[in-house]
Amino acid sequence: MSTNVQKFPSQFPIPAGPRLDPSLDPRFPTHSGAAGSKVGPVSIGRPAHNASPEISKVGLNEICLSYRTQSGERLLALDNINLQVRPGEFVCIVGPSGCGKSTLLHLIAGLQPQTSGQVLIDGNPVQGPGTDRILIFQDHGLFPWLTVGQNVEFGMKMKGIPKAERKEKTAYYLRLVHLAKFEKSYIHQLSGGMRQRVAIARALATEPDVLLMDEPFAALDAQTRDLLHDELERIWSESGRTIIFVTHNVREAVRLGDRVVLLTFRPGRVKSEFPVELPRPRHLEDPTVARAAREILDELRDEINRSLEAEYNEGVKPHVKTTVEEGSQL
């Protein structure tokens, strides 16, 4: 990572993630070019590129997580999650609310320990938080007592990077998200979309290999979200980072992901995986995206029904849901 940093601040290349296999680089036609890619409905239940010889960037092995509820009973939130994410892959995780998809990101980020199983990064087990994986929260989690620039700088400051270098990189990443003019602003002065862009810049500035995004665009209006989809896709394809993106919006998942992973409702299990082999750049309104999303949505609908049923029942005996939600916030 640091070798890439040395070139800073060259105007053009964005520092690529480490161990990036050129064949996986999204700038190459297999991903982005319309010409070679297969256009059509997604196929179900089969990984996009099976049996890749390299170590997964992120490996989830038999992850289980259970809570003790207020009434004392154990509640299984995640059940035997197995997922391998290739370097540079853009994986979207969808599922009904309460399926534990946000919690899964917290586990990968190391903010919360799993009950059993292993989270591997490049084959090494995760022990606590690390700046090789940065989580972007739905509520952005930016620090209101710092300016936009200081927010972006924060991770580098914690790492002990010298001030001059920090300043340069901050300016660079703010340009990347088109917010260079707002370096001195405070967070409350920005719109929701701008805040998420600052959060993205802040995450990228620590140069993580893996970006974990927890419904980052859920609270934004449709136009802003469209713009940010484009921006995120551009940043991803230019930087070659691995992204795990959690959303409840299937169409968003298909629009962004190389692969969509569907989780079941409580306990969260991997129900199925859908490789998305549509050409990029995609658009939310593409009929192909809509068609692929429909296919996933059909499967998701069962889970949503189950979650609604559970929610209805909880009207009679409350507590269970709130406990899970609280737990997932840690």
CB of 219 to other proteins, least distance (A): 13
Residues 198/150, Cβ–Cβ less than 8 Å: no
Q: Is residue 184 a contact point for other proteins (CB under 8 A)?
A: no
Site string for other proteins, 95-114 (x = CB under 8 A): -----------x--x-x---
End-to-end CA distance of the chain: 30
Q: Is residue 327 a contact point for other proteins (CB under 8 A)?
A: no
Residues facing 134 on adjacent strands: 211
Residues facing 107 on adjacent strands: none
Q: Is residue 134 a contact point for other proteins (CB under 8 A)?
A: yes
CB of 154 to other proteins, least distance (A): 6
Q: Is residue 139 a contact point for other proteins (CB under 8 A)?
A: yes
Q: Is residue 67 a contact point for other proteins (CB under 8 A)?
A: no
CB of 283 to other proteins, least distance (A): 31
Amino acid present at 266 = R
Q: Residue 41 or residue 129: which is nearer to other proteins going by CB?
A: 129
Q: Is residue 155 a contact point for other proteins (CB under 8 A)?
A: yes
**Interacting stretch for other proteins, rule CB under 8 A, among 35-43, 124-132, 222-230, 232-240?**
124-132
Q: Is residue 187 a contact point for other proteins (CB under 8 A)?
A: yes
Residue 217's φ and ψ, nearest 5 degrees, are -110, 10
Q: Is residue 159 a contact point for other proteins (CB under 8 A)?
A: yes
Token code pair at residue 311? 């929610």
Q: Is residue 145 a contact point for other proteins (CB under 8 A)?
A: yes
Residues 121/85, Cβ–Cβ less than 8 Å: no
CB of 226 to other proteins, least distance (A): 26
Q: What is the Cα–Cα distance from 119 to 121, expressed in whole angstroms?
A: 7
- State the residue for tokens 């306990």: 267
Helix 101-109 and helix 320-329: axis angle, to 10°? 30
Q: Is residue 218 a contact point for other proteins (CB under 8 A)?
A: no
Q: Is residue 116 a contact point for other proteins (CB under 8 A)?
A: no
Q: Residue 70 or residue 329: which is nearer to other proteins going by CB?
A: 329
Residues facing 67 on adjacent strands: 75
Q: Is residue 329 a contact point for other proteins (CB under 8 A)?
A: yes
As a whole number of Å, the CA-based R_g of the chain is: 20
Q: Residues touching other proteins: how many (CB under 8 A)?
A: 29
Q: What is the DSSP string of 92-143?
A: EEE--TTSSHHHHHHHHHTSS--SEEEEEETTEEP-S--TTEEEE-TT----
Residues that bind other proteins in the complex, under the rule CB under 8 A: 106, 109, 111, 129-131, 134-135, 137, 139, 141-146, 154-155, 157-159, 186-189, 202, 206, 329-330
